[in-house]
Amino acid sequence: MTVDETIRLVLAEHARLAVPVESLTDDTDLFGAGMTSHASVNVMLALEDAFDFEFPEKMLTKSTFESVAAIRAGVLETTGG
């Protein structure tokens, strides 16, 4: 499974979006699509489990989780991918 596929699977399972994950572009605002702050914490934890790492404290911001592209950048920066 690719990084993007894993991110989208995690979003489908944990983000509680008001729209189907398949309708999201890489730059769609996930908070605008219905993800709450609480759901973003669940997404973060699920991403950490899926990729077997922990986001550094400096990345624990809303902007890190605002889109698929932002999440991908955070995952790749943290995992060295």
User: Residue 49 sits in a domain of what CATH number?
Assistant: 1.10.1200.10
Planar angle of CA 43, 68, 4, nearest 5 degrees: 90
Total count of domains within the chain: 1
Chain centroid to Cα 80, Å, comes to: 17
pLDDT per position as a tens digit, 2-20:
999 999 999 999 999 999 9
pLDDT per position as a tens digit, 32-76:
999 999 999 999 999 999 999 999 999 999 999 999 999 999 999
Q: Which domain holds residue 25?
A: 3-79
